[in-house]
Structure 1
Amino acid sequence: MELFDNLALGFGVAFTFQNLIYALVGCLLGTLIGVLPGIGPVATIAMLLPATYALPPVSALIMLAGIYYGAQYGGSTTAILVNLPGESSSVVTVIDGYQMARKGRAGPALAAAGLGSFFAGCVGTLILAGFAAPLTELAFKFGPAEYFSLMVLGLIGAVVLASGSLIKAIGMIMVGLLLGLVGTDVNSGVARYSFDIPELTDGIGFIAIAMGVFGYGEIISNLAKPDEEREVFTANVQGLWPTREDFKAMLPAVMRGTALGSALGILPGGGALLSAFASYTLEKKISLKKGEIPFGQGNIRGVAGPESANNAGAQTSFIPLLTLGIPPNAVMALMVGAMTIHNIQPGPQVMTSNPELFWGLIASMWIGNLMLIVLNLPMIGIWIKLLTIPYRWLFPAIVLFCAIGVYSENNNTFDVWMVGIFGIVGYAFYKLGCEPAPLLLGFILGPMMEENLRRTLLLSRGDWSVLLSRPISASLLAITLLLIIIVTLPAIKAKREDVFVED
């Protein structure tokens, strides 16, 4: 009964006129920018984060959550119509979605992605609501030692689940941790790694790194691609509704994708991305029915399954953020930044100290998913037209918007220069094949890890064995060690590389 009371409180908050408007604005803005090729949820939220400064905390987080859903939905639209994934977890949607578009079935492909995402989003939110309270009770048993061990597990998980080279993922984590050290030492008050630059004594701005690496970096990499590579099937979107046979094929795939995504989304480091790949791999292993189109040639299961898994994983990734205060992926790291900006300390105390925010955000997820279905499927023509806007007009506007947004944070031109520098760094990462998401996790978790480790050693009077003498801390470190051993085994290493191959 307590769960229903909490949800009633959440819907009471989410259904206020102000919060409904912000949820709608978030969904529209997210879809608007997310539909642009190469600009996914991370870049979208990073660019639009300054717009939430003046809002109340609940409205700000509801709007950012709406941006998250909208950007993800837009990513599948781009993947199907342009053969370019709008975000990393839409990579597998490209394979069959684009082939459906080439055969004149872009409408059913878009509808399968939308309906699958809506169902999975609702189930994922229900799981979040059900597990939030018990996990929060567990989180209250965590001390500094447990939080430090949990963050170590999170960073190792980010390395294990990052696509591409393990060495590069470790390198990106280390760069993020080092960037997090820049600023003033909390205990001694001494500036460190600031190189006598006054602006760096407060540390490198979170917005500057996020906007630079993800926003400007993505823009530069997109500008490097010729327009001829992009083929948009604007004329081929006619009937939107899938046929009865499509629904028969879609339904089991959506169910399987939702279950897989809900479980894998909780994992640190990219559960939503891994779940999309895992769902597509699972669908390919299930034998084709008589007359069914092969995978890679326009099978609707190859769109519905991964999109459901992706959205379910996105919803359940809120569980470690809201209950433990630990961001499991780059988008959740941005949400931690947003909460910190609004003077909200992420963690288990949010549920008790600010229940309106906690349950209002959860309730708004249902509303946001419903808004996306109602708004996006009838308005698909508008998003298609947006894809035909020449890049030479579009990107200067985005660059200007980012510059204004980052300047408005501190009214400081130094931040604008920092965004430009990190934009070049982000493009260098792209060219080197380094995934930048672990960097953001390292940057966010680094200072938190340092603070909790110092507290632990202070309480234990410098005795490191306290990390192993406390049962929860020891268990988390044991899981971390097990992960490291497993991922270094040759057979597992080869299998891991196969999972992230889309062809």
Structure 2
Amino acid sequence: MGDLASLMQGFGDAVSPANLLWALLGVTIGTAVGVLPGIGPALTVALLLPLTFRLDPAAALIMFAGIYYGGMYGGSTTSILLNTPGESASMVTALEGNRMARAGRAAAALATAAIGSFVAGTVGTVGLTFLAPVVADFAVGFGPPEYVALMALAFVTVSALLGASLLKGLAGLLIGVGIGLVGIDPQSGEARLAFGVPSLLDGVDVVVVVVALFALGETFSRVLRGTGGETVEPIRSRAVLSRSDWRRSWPAWLRGAGIGFPIGSLPAGGAEVPTFLSYSAEKRLSKHPEEFGKGAIEGVAGPEAANNAAAAGVLVPLLTIGLPTSATAAVILTAFQSYGLQPGPQLFSESGPLLWTLVASLYIGNVMLLVLNLPLVRLWARLLTIPAYAIYAAVMVFATLGTFASGGTTADLIVLYALGLLALLMRTAGIPIAPAVVGLILGPLLEQQLRRALALSQGDPAVLVSSPLTVVLWALIALALLLPFAMRAVRRGTGPAPAPGGDGPGGEKEEDADAPAPRS
């Protein structure tokens, strides 16, 4: 009851006209910049940080939180409309959302993303309010072996799900891991995969990689296919969301929230992994699996909900143990420290009123986000009426400007376009892009945790299966690897036997019946 009373007091402070204005400003800016390729919420918060030094801490943190949530939703807009995520956590939304947009259902995709963001953001904020201490205690109990198993599970799931084959999915994953290992080896201090280029010693910025693989890869691919003056009819029905869309979306919103918040609350959890796991769950549970890859609305609703629930979950380790698990959380940590606040176990007791005002503002920001974006879905969808060549020219400009703004060097632009050409080759070879980004993000973390685990065990690999949780996770990995082969064998065993003389039930004559008639 004490937490509930503190939350009510926080609402009393958050609904003051000034704080409501800062929340609205943050949500608006976050949404606006989230739709720009290469400029995500982390960069926006970092750029605005010096401008808020004269604000009181509550106003500054409320605006930062609004930018964070707004940027998470804004990234889904370009994912759906242009197949170019505004930030890495929105890349899964592009898989089905862009297909829906090209099929004339852009407004429905944007609407389910907006409502899913609201539902999951609210669920995540409720979890942050009441479950933060419990989840934080569970997360602190994770050791290096558990992290190794969890990340390996994410690798296998993503590679098997998003590739045309497991082999191509693993190829994309290894490309991403290779990019992620560029820079200084944190243990030995030796340069690796830098090829003597000084600017690569700090590694390759994830923003540059995401923009190159998605935005430039898509643009180069469109140039080769020819853009012409084609446009897409964005809305082919009067209702934004039909009754069937509602029926298929609401379970996905709840499942996505249930997946996103716990994983986002884990140290090193982030928002990327739960979006992939949510997509995997929706594909397996859907009554319309044949629509996946062609524009399944569950494939937008679930991952987008997981994305926003994880955004709330990321605040749990940040506020309770002072551990940022995303770039934006790291910048928000800097904002706390600039006001003399150190997130950690004592933060709620030492700065309780400020923290509860921030939590209350998250509820208010979610409502503002829905009210701001839901009426605009038809307007956003009309962007698809712009000719394709104009859209992709703008994508090139914004991608270049965003990358230069984040790094400020010519070397960043060279890396951007080199990776864009690599993305084009990957698309040509049928190698999926999304596993590469997952490998980029989780590869260095997996290496770090694996080294820690082996150091603690003095090189004994048995430490990787030293707890019941690790055994369960490795069993799930084995199941994910073997299940496709087992299902394929079952299908072969139960399929109809071919008739003599041909592959189909009717033999060779059946095949000839489907052949086109010869021209006279």
**What is the TM-score normalised by the length of structure 2?**
0.68
Residue 46 of structure 2 is matched in structure 1 by 53
Report Cα offsets for 1:151-190 as digits up to 9, x if no partner.
Answer: 2222222223325321111111112222222211222222
2:134 is aligned with 1:134: yes
State which of 274, 287, 303 in structure 2 corresponds to 1:282: 287
What amino acid sits opposite 1:442 in the alignment? G
State which of 254, 273, 276 in structure 2 corresponds to 1:270: 276
What amino acid sits opposite 1:482 in the alignment? L
Report Cα offsets for 1:27-85 as digits up to 9, x if no partner.
Answer: 2444x55xxxxxxxxxx466675344223495556424312223435666789xxxxx9
Gaps of 5+ in 1: 34-43, 80-84, 286-294, 297-301, 326-333, 496-503
Residue 474 of structure 2 is matched in structure 1 by 477
Residue 463 of structure 2 is matched in structure 1 by 466
Check the 8 A contact 1:89/1:276 in 2, yes or no: no
2:259 is aligned with 1:258: no
| DSSP 3-state at the match of 1:202 | coil
Residue 227 of structure 2 is matched in structure 1 by 226
Check the 8 A contact 1:48/1:405 in 2, yes or no: no
Residue 497 of structure 2 is matched in structure 1 by none
Residue 481 of structure 1 and its aligned partner are, at CA, apart by 2.6
Between the aligned partners of 2:222 and 2:325, the Cα distance in structure 1 is 25
1:217/1:129 Cα in 2 relative to 1: closer, same or farther (>3 Å)?
farther
Check the 8 A contact 1:158/1:268 in 2, yes or no: no
Residue 55 of structure 2 is matched in structure 1 by none
Please give the residue correspondences for 1:428-447 in structure 2 after superposition, counting only pairs within 5 Å: 428-447=425-444
2:94 is aligned with 1:87: yes
**What is the TM-score normalised by the length of structure 1?**
0.70
Between the aligned partners of 2:465 and 2:418, the Cα distance in structure 1 is 42
Q: Report sequence identity in percent.
A: 27
Residue 450 of structure 1 and its aligned partner are, at CA, apart by 1.6
Check the 8 A contact 1:216/1:423 in 2, yes or no: yes
Between the aligned partners of 2:139 and 2:460, the Cα distance in structure 1 is 24
| DSSP 3-state at the match of 2:48 | coil
Between the aligned partners of 2:142 and 2:316, the Cα distance in structure 1 is 11
Please give the residue correspondences for 1:88-487 in structure 2 after superposition, counting only pairs within 5 Å: 88-90=95-97, 93=100, 98=104, 118-119=118-119, 122-123=122-123, 126=126, 132-223=132-223, 224-227=225-228, 229-232=230-233, 252-263=247-258, 268=274, 270-274=276-280, 277=283, 281-282=286-287, 308-318=301-311, 336-340=326-330, 352=345, 366-380=363-377, 382-487=379-484
Between the aligned partners of 1:360 and 1:154, the Cα distance in structure 2 is 35
Residue 475 of structure 1 and its aligned partner are, at CA, apart by 3.3
Check the 8 A contact 1:92/1:276 in 2, yes or no: no
Bigger mean CA deviation after superposition, 371-380 or 464-473: 371-380
Gaps of 5+ in 2: 50-59, 84-91, 264-272, 319-323, 335-341, 493-520
What amino acid sits opposite 1:282 in the alignment? K
What amino acid sits opposite 2:191 in the alignment? A
Check the 8 A contact 2:212/2:419 in 1, yes or no: yes
1:157/1:378 Cα in 2 relative to 1: closer, same or farther (>3 Å)?
closer
Residue 119 of structure 1 and its aligned partner are, at CA, apart by 4.6
| DSSP 3-state at the match of 1:54 | helix
1:339/1:427 Cα in 2 relative to 1: closer, same or farther (>3 Å)?
farther
| DSSP 3-state at the match of 2:201 | helix
2:24 is aligned with 1:20: yes
Residue 419 of structure 1 and its aligned partner are, at CA, apart by 0.8
Between the aligned partners of 1:474 and 1:426, the Cα distance in structure 2 is 36
Between the aligned partners of 1:110 and 1:7, the Cα distance in structure 2 is 31
What amino acid sits opposite 2:160 in the alignment? V
Check the 8 A contact 2:159/2:166 in 1, yes or no: yes
Check the 8 A contact 2:148/2:450 in 1, yes or no: yes
Check the 8 A contact 1:124/1:312 in 2, yes or no: no
